[in-house]
Structure 1
């Protein structure tokens, strides 16, 4: 892996391999957790807008056609602390990817009629998420779990805030946050002269003073928190979880191992106990997230409302069972993580995204030490974490079927 910083502050991470494709990701170190209440959803809105035309490419169709005529793929996502845009294309078309991404970033037009059109698209997306309990359960969980931290707000924003966005909101926020000294470009593939190409396409961008986000201390949870919302659904949905630790905390790797013990595929403890042995639910799994300054660990399940209490007790019992973990189960979880990590790294986009993620948090080199940190996790570490975090002060959210 090679790392360079351009004079304007753009950070380049490059890893060469023998693949026939190349993945290019441009990640900005800004996301929904930077937003004030009345601007909730603006980062996600901008993610949409950058594909909607530039001074050189009139609309999203022209951008898409230029990528797809070479068999390429493109997409974007917004998270709490980052907004990313990527293109995956045959390696000899690297310049196409860089030209399009640099044009999108340097020359967005933010036409009023497109802003109004995109507002309607996102309002429909908000309605779709609210209607889809598999997605909506996570909106409710974060809202209930966090009290002060902006992670309590949905990345997509609220209908009220999205409706209020105008061209000035969009342009002001973009040009103050989406700046070269807040940008990581990650390139993975069989390509050469990458530093020179990045300089050619992105070196002209002018740096600005970056906007700092006020650190918000989230209070410890001292009681059970429960939220129930009744809805017309075929089944009920339950999420049970906890606030945990940020990604750079040493205990985050212990949670990764616990996530594998409890939630890997159909052989994890939770799936085995709830579905295989008792048939209480169709869908069951574990969600483990670690960001720059917060973490959350949760078990989720889709089940009939008459089974909610049974499933809850089984989940809590599996957390207590971790306090009796043996070496065999620990090593199986580590082996799963290593295998899964190897398969994911084979994909250029996933690898580019992972390198950009670690660089945005602190240093891309930390990606190389991830498995080393997993291997260090001991039985005693798991027992300690289970006792400290996975206790009787949980947060539980239920979308309960009516009738």
Structure 2
């Protein structure tokens, strides 16, 4: 059975996992949550500091602040310069980085188990005591603009960003995670500082670690490092509530969006709203995606690439958030083949919704997903991420064995029913390529 992760002050649990691993969880004073997965025989560990804030949480005037903080927390604290932070990890052969999402941000490091105390101290210092120096902010503003320009040069990235905007529109999840050049140029230091002070709090912080880690020792190290950083960790405080949607959000209509790029190849995405991150049908969605566009044996790959030679890259994808999600079909093809490729993608999706998949397809897709799941859990970084998402998103910890059982329990009828539901929702189309700058183009 999945392990519930209640948001109660002082709550603690221990749960055995596959391969002799042990997961432990403690809610520390201040509402800080610490989850560890001790993996026998490993000499390394990956630790992450998660903050339950993402780009969707930015108020007007603060857009781009979340991405700015991902950069600025590495630029120095009251105790360390940016070089001190870099040298701390380089000196032990470790790696440190961060990732911004639409609903959370994570600062993480992979080090030898003996160097975990250093990693805790440095990351906690960054999270609690970032200086957000005005001069460094202006330098980093230029770096972020270069990062956005780099992404804008990748037509497939442009297509996926535009697809989220086309489907979700004015919903906060429709905004680009990294901000836009305009918002990055406009956001002032005070707005970034306010965003930091508002959201980087004990009750919003989740620490996860996997590998050669001792849970009790780590909890003591985290508590000490946060107190050194000046955070007040009062007893009895509860963690921040998880995002809960009363009902999934679905737009009223689909959108067609054309983005002009002087490229040799066009990028096209067809799709719409998918499932929320906690929808019980997410395992059926995984099987659906594998059958339709999840590998070389998938229907889209076989029909569009292998039989007709219309595209090199073609696949399906999905993502889930607290109150909505995305589901889409992507292909890259020559501009004069876009209409044919769109038609074929829609035909394959409609076929999936209209008739059951074969037993061979179901077995092959379940096998593909099962193998990918197990192989993906073979490193400490993946295990650390699993703990963070279980805590912040699902509110329960599902073991690898239980996840495999849920995948294997998916039926052909469930896949057909879900495909029919998705196809009945408003459909959006995004095209990126050398098309005219007519209505809807950018």
Q: TM-score range by the shorter chain?
A: over 0.9
Change (3 A) 1:265 1:2: same
Match of 2:36 in 1: 14
Structure 2 SS opposite 1:237: strand
- Aligned Cα root-mean-square deviation (Å): 2.2
Match of 2:223 in 1: 199
Q: TM-score, normalised by structure 2?
A: 0.86
CA contact (8 A) 1:270 1:285 kept: yes
CA distance in 1: counterparts of 2:297 and 2:227, whole angstroms = 49
**Is 1:48 aligned to residue 80 of structure 2?**
no
CA distance in 2: counterparts of 1:263 and 1:89, whole angstroms = 36
CA contact (8 A) 1:240 1:394 kept: yes
CA contact (8 A) 1:149 1:218 kept: no
1:32-69, Cα deviation, whole Å (9 max, x unpaired): 1111233222111111110111112111x321221022
In the TM superposition, what is the alpha-carbon distance from 1:325 to its structure 2 partner? 0.5
Question: 1:112-261 maps to which residues of 2 (within 5 A)?
Answer: 112-192=134-214, 193-202=217-226, 205-206=231-232, 220-221=250-251, 223-261=253-291
Match of 2:341 in 1: 311
Change (3 A) 1:402 1:248: closer
Match of 1:331 in 2: 363
Match of 1:269 in 2: 299
Structure 2 SS opposite 1:206: coil
Match of 2:108 in 1: 86
Gaps of 5+ in 2: 1-22, 437-442
Gaps of 5+ in 1: none
The equivalent position to 2:379 in structure 1, one of 347, 370, 388, is 347
In the TM superposition, what is the alpha-carbon distance from 1:321 to its structure 2 partner? 2.7
In the TM superposition, what is the alpha-carbon distance from 1:261 to its structure 2 partner? 1.4
In the TM superposition, what is the alpha-carbon distance from 1:167 to its structure 2 partner? 2.5
Moved more, 38-47 or 386-395: 386-395
CA distance in 2: counterparts of 1:281 and 1:343, whole angstroms = 28
Moved more, 320-329 or 101-110: 320-329
CA distance in 1: counterparts of 2:209 and 2:253, whole angstroms = 46
In the TM superposition, what is the alpha-carbon distance from 1:77 to its structure 2 partner? 0.7
CA distance in 1: counterparts of 2:410 and 2:114, whole angstroms = 42
Structure 2 SS opposite 1:8: helix
1:154-207, Cα deviation, whole Å (9 max, x unpaired): 011122222222232122110110111101111101122322222222356226
In the TM superposition, what is the alpha-carbon distance from 1:292 to its structure 2 partner? 1.6
CA distance in 2: counterparts of 1:353 and 1:218, whole angstroms = 25
CA distance in 2: counterparts of 1:194 and 1:181, whole angstroms = 18
Change (3 A) 1:211 1:124: farther
**Is 1:96 aligned to residue 118 of structure 2?**
yes
CA contact (8 A) 1:40 1:156 kept: no
* Aligned residues between the structures: 402
Structure 1 SS opposite 2:331: strand
Change (3 A) 1:217 1:48: farther
Match of 2:50 in 1: 27
Change (3 A) 1:93 1:145: same
Match of 2:20 in 1: none
CA distance in 2: counterparts of 1:200 and 1:257, whole angstroms = 45
Structure 1 SS opposite 2:259: strand
Question: 1:48-67 maps to which residues of 2 (within 5 A)?
Answer: 48-59=71-82, 61-67=83-89
CA distance in 1: counterparts of 2:191 and 2:244, whole angstroms = 20
1:263-295, Cα deviation, whole Å (9 max, x unpaired): 223222211211111110112222210122211
Q: TM-score, normalised by structure 1?
A: 0.93
Change (3 A) 1:6 1:45: same
Match of 1:381 in 2: 414
Structure 1 SS opposite 2:159: helix
CA contact (8 A) 2:313 2:332 kept: yes
